[in-house]
């Protein structure tokens, strides 16, 4: 029995060989690769996918882990102007992200060794909190970090987020996903979704200056990528709809329902 990665399309249930899945993803302008932040096997999967995509076209890699203000530091890293310890210090890794850097360093080394540009996708947390509390109108234009108000999220995505956080402190006693009491949490989530989409869109715009249009890859927590909402929804609002999303799963996990994501990949136990 093969221990390899097992890809399938939740919408139709059909299985795909690894090469076919990579070729399908490579046809996109933007590829969104989900993750659980503390899983080394998922980050290895992301690296395998990125390497496969690079065989088709050049890449730009966007990372939720870095705010966009750190793009100059990421460029210096790719240029070889600092060692790993200095890179982690200058990106303020322990404060900005905090997960063990060993989980992500293989991806960062891959970008450096292949000359793949890295861009930060995130925003300052104060912006997220302020919009969640008071909406976009509560934030002065100069403090919005170049973002425009997000498109309101579709109900299936709100339902997905509600199922994750429930009616506890995050849900503020909301009775369901459409309850206005849940709006504060959703607004905060949408700031991240919009920020990631805006930075990825910006990377595609920059990429038009190159001879071969790169694939822009987003490395993002999979809670921002499911049920047709989140980042892909905000990208569509910006006019980018050639977006493919892939979600990793553990062996033995229940198959994703149609509509959750375009592609899923069951990781072999040997990855753990």
Q: Residues 161, 189: contact at Cβ < 8 Å?
A: yes
Q: Is 213 helix (H, G, I), strand (E, B) or coil?
A: coil
Q: Is 34 helix (H, G, I), strand (E, B) or coil?
A: strand
Mean local confidence (pLDDT), 235-248:
96
Q: Residues 236, 10: contact at Cβ < 8 Å?
A: no
What is the residue-averaged pLDDT of the chain? 91
Q: Which residues contact 33 (CB under 8 A, 6 or more apart)?
A: 46, 49, 50, 217, 218, 219, 220, 246
* Number of alpha carbons in the 13 Å side-chain half-sphere of residue 3: 5
pLDDT value for 38: 94
Please tell me the distance from the alpha carbon of residue 46 to that of residue 35, in angstroms, as a whole number: 8
pLDDT value for 208: 56
Tens of pLDDT, residue by residue over 195-240, are 999 999 999 987 655 677 899 999 999 999 999 999 999 999 999 9
Q: Which domains does the chain have, with CATH numbers?
A: 6-271 (3.40.50.11550)
More confident position, 269 or 128: 128
Q: Residues 222, 36: contact at Cβ < 8 Å?
A: yes
pLDDT value for 17: 95
Tens of pLDDT, residue by residue over 130-182, are 898 888 989 998 899 889 999 999 999 999 999 988 665 555 668 888 888 88
Q: In what order do the strands lie in the sheet with 118-122?
A: 15-16, 6-8, 263-267, 243-250, 30-35, 215-221, 59-67, 118-122
Mean local confidence (pLDDT), 245-271:
89
Nearest CA to 148 out of 118, 193, 203, 181 is that of 193
Prediction pTM value? 0.93
| Local confidence band at 260 (pLDDT 50, 70, 90 cut-offs) | very high
Tens of pLDDT, residue by residue over 19-77, are 999 999 999 999 999 999 999 999 999 999 999 999 999 999 999 999 999 999 999 99
Strands 6-8 and 15-16: antiparallel
Residues in the chain: 272
pLDDT value for 102: 97
Please tell me the distance from the alpha carbon of residue 104 to that of residue 111, in angstroms, as a whole number: 11
pLDDT value for 1: 40
pLDDT value for 171: 56
């Amino acid at each position: 029995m093969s221990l390899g990665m097992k890809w399938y399309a939740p919408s139709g249930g059909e299985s795909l060989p690894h090469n076919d899945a990579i070729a399908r993803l490579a046809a996109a302008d933007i590829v969104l690769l989900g993750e659980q932040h503390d899983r080394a096997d998922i980050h290895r999967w992301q690296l395998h996918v990125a390497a496969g995509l690079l065989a088709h076209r050049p890449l730009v890699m966007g990372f939720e882990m870095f705010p966009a203000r750190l793009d100059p530091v990421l460029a210096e890293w790719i240029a070889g102007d600092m060692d790993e310890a200095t890179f982690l210090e200058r990106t303020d890794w322990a404060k900005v992200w905090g997960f063990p850097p060993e989980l992500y360093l293989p991806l960062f080394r891959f970008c450096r060794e292949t000359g793949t540009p890295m861009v930060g996708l995130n925003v300052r947390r104060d912006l997220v909190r302020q919009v969640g509390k008071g909406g976009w109108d509560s934030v002065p234009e100069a403090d919005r970090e170049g973002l425009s108000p997000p498109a309101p999220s579709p109900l299936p995505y709100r339902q997905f987020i509600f199922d994750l956080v429930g009616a506890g402190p995050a849900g503020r006693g909301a009775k369901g996903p459409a309850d206005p009491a849940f709006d504060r949490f959703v607004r905060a989530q949408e700031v991240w979704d919009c920020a990631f989409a805006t930075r990825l869109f910006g990377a595609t715009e920059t990429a038009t200056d190159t001879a071969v249009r790169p694939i822009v890859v987003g490395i993002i927590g999979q809670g921002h990528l499911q049920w047709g909402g989140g980042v892909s929804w905000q990208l569509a609002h910006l006019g980018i709809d050639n977006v493919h999303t892939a979600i990793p799963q553990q062996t033995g996990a229940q198959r994703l329902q149609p509509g959750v994501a375009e592609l899923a990949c069951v990781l072999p136990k040997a990855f753990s």
